[in-house]
């Protein structure tokens, strides 16, 4: 605790000297009893400070009186200055009226001077306006008297004066004079144009041109000079040339559809077209153009004729080429002689124009120099247009053609043919006289030797002589169920093609020869024949192709060797490619619109056309067309695939109406299933009837087989997906299967005895045996199914798991079922 005295001293020190107390005193409490003592100490300190100040003031005394005197003197000076300032202000206020009078007099003087200058300017302007008005009147008087040159000179002087005068640039007078000057100019231009029209009279209605030949001020040269002075000569001359083209050139160079055009009469008076059109040839037309140009050259002033090569001649050349020369290009060799004459006439015209010193004929010269290329282009356009016309003009008439193929077979194959009951090719076997001959069926043989084959879209790039793989119908691999492409079998090893989906494959036309690891036997050649239907289109397209090939050779021989287009002969060989491409590009829509089953006709036509072109390739050694033939075959197969895809989709959609055959033994589902199966079966029969007159017999069976395979595959999948099949469902499913099985009659060969005919359905429907086994499973007992698996060939068509699943769906749980399934699982495969 600090003492009271220490606290008071600390506060006094802080107040008087600003000193902070010690740390121990900062936290000390200031007692109320010390307040009186603290105030006393502060009063004592204050008194002490005042005494010190008084002492210091007495020691520093100065002379205040002197300062007082100076202050009074300063105050007197200030008062005098104020008086002076007031006097100055008063004097200034007295001069303001005088200054105002001076300024007013100056303003009046300036106004008088301005008015004088304005009056002088107005007088001068009025004189100028009067002079301009007089010139306007004089110019109109000159124009009225026919002195156009003087009128133009006066107009130019008026316009120059209006441009130089700046006194009334923005006045109404200037606007009036400008308007009057513009009107005068229009009047002069109209007068000059009328004189121009009189001197160069082009009558579009009558089709004539008259040139007035006068001398002096009324001459055409004087009119041209006036137009140049007015700056309108280029526009007037351009319109004259355009009118000349419309009235004279177009009627000459634009032939009507009947081949007629208007003749022309050229005299000293001018050019006149006949009122009626007449038959004209290229030679006559070029002669008419030559006479018209020569007349213009001789009778038009140089200022006009010099502009003809730049604008008029190019238009004439273009119209001549488009209207007469291009249509004169022949499309066959018989017209080349006349075409050469046309080229010579064009050269004569260009030489004549060049002798006049004119240019603008370069387009005509270039047309002659490019005659070969132009002729080839015309042939190309004509050929492609002929393809279009062939398709458009076709009535859809059809005919049957025969496919003939030769095949080398072994004695074993001959034995198969001798035992075969059918010949799906409708083939005739022509024996070679020089060798022993046997026949081999193209579509029927033992199961371990042949299967139905089909061309896939990806087979086009393969060589035709490359052997194709064969597949056993008993092979349970899905890939082997697809149709294989038939090959000639000339190599020692078979190559297996990648197959598309069955609905996308195309029927084949070549049988297989031998399997791998089969020793070669005695061979002989047989001829296979088959009939199918094509339209009239391939023959027409083929004639167009043949014409290009024939003309390509004939053009290099007499009498065409000297022709300017003889060098284009090799170019004709490129046209068949374009012709076939045009056929592919435009045929799809035609076949679809005009023919029932148009895609199948397109398939036949494409393959037939490809075969005919291939013969042309062999005959004329045109290997360059090989790729086009392959492309055409691929195009035909694509059309076939599209149609197959469409029909497969229809059959699948119809069968979808059964809704997976669930509850097929109960109404109304039974009726729906019955309708779905009947509709799918009827659809296949309808397609068979529709395609029978179109496709070859083998192709027909392969196509229908593919559709049936699609339907049976879906049927099998739907049945296998049923988790539980009751006895009534099983019986109903068997009825449905029997209805589908009746389609087997479509594959019964046409033989002499129907009783001996054995359907070859399994050959053309890859899963037919699988479908028949499904029927056996559905209507058999468990013991029968076990027997088929253990002793029969059920394992060739169904996997163990499939059989087990069907057993579990068909039969209720029992010891007997478990034992049967166990035996099936333990039974060895193969």
Rounded CA gap, 316 and 253, in Å?
8
Rounded CA gap, 40 and 213, in Å?
142
Provide the token pair at 450.
């042949």
- Does residue 87 carry a pLDDT above 70? yes
Please write the tens of the pLDDT for every residue from 715-747. 999 999 988 888 888 999 999 999 999 999 999
Helix runs in 60-144, H state only: 64-144
* Main-chain phi, psi angles of 215, to 5 degrees: -120, 165
Provide the token pair at 569.
């002969």
More confident residue, 134 or 233: 233
Please write the tens of the pLDDT for every residue from 101-126. 888 888 888 889 888 888 877 777 77
Helix (H) or strand (E) segment spanning residue 231: none
Task: Mention every residue, 6+ apart, whose C-beta is less than 8 A from residue 161.
Answer: 128, 131, 132, 135
Mean pLDDT rounded to a whole number for the chain: 78
The pLDDT assigned to 431 comes to 34
Lowest mean pLDDT among 67-76, 281-290, 801-810: 67-76
The pLDDT assigned to 411 comes to 56
In this prediction, residues 604-621 reach a mean pLDDT of 91
**CA 105, chain centre distance (Å):** 89
The pLDDT assigned to 160 comes to 72
- Does residue 447 carry a pLDDT above 80? no
Instruction: Classify 707 as helix, strand or coil.
Output: helix
Please write the tens of the pLDDT for every residue from 334-374. 888 888 899 999 999 999 999 998 888 889 999 999 988 99
Rounded CA gap, 761 and 452, in Å?
11
Rounded CA gap, 35 and 474, in Å?
132
Q: C-alpha distances in angstroms, 613 versus 369, 549, 627, 633? A: 34, 11, 11, 11
Helix (H) or strand (E) segment spanning residue 532: strand 523-535
pLDDT tier for residue 750 given thresholds of 50, 70 and 90: low
Rounded CA gap, 336 and 561, in Å?
11
In this prediction, residues 774-786 reach a mean pLDDT of 91
Please write the tens of the pLDDT for every residue from 485-519. 223 333 333 333 333 343 445 565 443 333 334 44
Please write the tens of the pLDDT for every residue from 767-776. 999 999 999 9
465 cis-preceded (ω within 30 degrees of 0):
no
- Does residue 479 carry a pLDDT above 60? no
- Does residue 423 carry a pLDDT above 50? no
């Amino acid at each position: 605790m600090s003492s009271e005295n220490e606290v008071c001293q600390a506060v006094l020190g802080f107040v008087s000297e600003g000193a902070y107390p010690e740390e121990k005193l900062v936290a000390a409490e200031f007692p109320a009893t010390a307040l009186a003592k603290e105030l006393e100490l502060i009063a004592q300190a204050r008194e002490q400070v005042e005494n010190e100040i008084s002492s210091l003031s007495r020691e520093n005394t100065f002379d205040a009186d002197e300062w007082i005197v100076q202050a009074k003197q300063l105050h007197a000076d200030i008062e005098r200055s104020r008086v002076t300032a007031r006097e100055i202000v008063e004097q200034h206020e007295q001069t303001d009226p005088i200054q105002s009078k001076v300024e007013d007099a100056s303003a009046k003087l300036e106004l008088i001077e301005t008015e004088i200058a304005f009056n002088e300017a107005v007088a001068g302007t009025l004189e100028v306006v009067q002079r301009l008005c007089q010139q306007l009147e004089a110019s109109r008087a000159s124009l009225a008297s026919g002195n156009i040159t003087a009128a133009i000179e006066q107009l130019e002087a008026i316009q120059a004066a209006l441009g130089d005068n700046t006194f009334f640039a923005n006045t109404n007078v200037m606007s009036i004079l400008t308007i009057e000057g513009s009107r005068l100019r229009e009047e002069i231009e109209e007068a000059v144009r009328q004189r121009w029209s009189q001197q160069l009279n082009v009558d579009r209605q009558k089709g004539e041109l008259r040139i007035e030949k006068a001398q002096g001020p009324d001459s055409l040269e004087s009119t041209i000079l006036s137009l140049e002075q007015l700056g309108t000569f280029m526009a007037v001359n351009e319109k004259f040339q355009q009118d000349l083209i419309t009235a004279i050139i177009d009627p000459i160079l634009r032939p009507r559809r009947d081949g007629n055009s208007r003749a022309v009469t050229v005299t000293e008076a001018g050019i006149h077209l006949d009122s009626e059109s007449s038959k004209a040839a290229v030679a006559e037309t070029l002669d008419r153009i030559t006479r018209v140009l020569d007349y213009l050259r001789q009778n038009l002033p140089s200022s006009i004729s010099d502009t003809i090569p730049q604008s008029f001649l190019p238009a004439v050349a273009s119209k001549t080429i488009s209207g007469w020369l291009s249509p004169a290009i022949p499309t066959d060799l018989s017209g080349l002689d006349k075409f050469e004459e046309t080229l010579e006439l064009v050269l004569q015209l260009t030489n004549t124009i060049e002798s006049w010193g004119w240019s603008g004929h370069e387009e005509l010269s270039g047309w002659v120099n490019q005659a070969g290329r132009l002729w080839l282009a015309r042939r190309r356009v004509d050929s492609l247009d002929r393809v279009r016309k062939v398709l458009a003009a076709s009535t859809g008439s059809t005919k049957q053609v025969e496919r003939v193929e030769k095949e080398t077979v072994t004695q074993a194959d001959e034995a198969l043919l001798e035992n075969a009951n059918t010949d799906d090719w409708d083939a005739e076997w022509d024996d070679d006289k020089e060798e022993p001959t046997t026949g081999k069926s193209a579509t029927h043989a033992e199961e371990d030797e042949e299967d139905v084959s089909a061309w896939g879209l990806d087979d086009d790039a393969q060589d035709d002589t490359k052997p194709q793989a064969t597949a056993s119908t008993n092979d349970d691999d899905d890939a082997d169920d697809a149709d294989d492409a038939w090959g000639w079998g000339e190599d020692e090893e078979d190559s297996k093609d990648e197959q598309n989906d069955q609905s996308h494959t195309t029927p084949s036309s070549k049988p297989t020869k031998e399997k791998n690891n089969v020793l070669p036997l005695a061979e002989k050649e047989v001829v296979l024949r088959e009939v199918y239907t094509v339209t009239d289109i391939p023959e027409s397209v083929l004639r167009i192709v043949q014409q290009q090939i024939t003309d390509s050779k004939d053009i290099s021989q007499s009498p065409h060797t000297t022709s300017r287009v003889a060098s284009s002969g090799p170019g004709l060989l490129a046209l068949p490619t374009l012709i076939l491409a045009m056929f592919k590009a435009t045929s799809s829509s035609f076949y679809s619109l005009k023919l029932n089953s148009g895609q199948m006709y397109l398939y036949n036509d494409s393959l037939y056309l490809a075969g005919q072109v291939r013969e042309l390739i062999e005959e004329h050694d045109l290997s360059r067309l090989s790729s086009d033939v392959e492309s055409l075959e691929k195009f035909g197969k694509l059309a076939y695939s599209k149609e197959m895809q469409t029909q497969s989709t229809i059959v699948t959609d119809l069968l979808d109406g059964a809704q997976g055959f669930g509850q097929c033994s109960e109404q109304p589902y039974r009726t729906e299933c019955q309708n779905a199966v009947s509709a799918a079966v009827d659809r296949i029969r309808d397609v068979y009837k529709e395609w029978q007159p179109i496709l070859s017999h083998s192709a027909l069976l392969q196509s229908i087989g593919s559709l049936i395979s699609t339907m049976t595959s879906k049927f099998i999948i739907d049945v296998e997906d049923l988790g539980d099949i009751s006895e009534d469902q099983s019986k109903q499913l068997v009825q449905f299967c029997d209805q589908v099985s009746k389609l087997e009659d479509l594959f019964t060969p046409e033989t002499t005895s129907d009783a001996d005919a054995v359907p070859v359905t399994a050959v053309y429907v890859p899963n037919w045996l699988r479908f028949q086994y499904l029927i056996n499973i559905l209507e058999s007992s468990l013991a029968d199914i076990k027997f088929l698996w253990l002793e029969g060939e059920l394992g060739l068509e169904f996997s163990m798991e499939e059989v087990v699943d069907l057993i579990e769906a068909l039969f209720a749980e029992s010891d007997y079922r478990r034992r049967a399934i166990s035996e099936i699982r333990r039974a060895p495969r193969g």
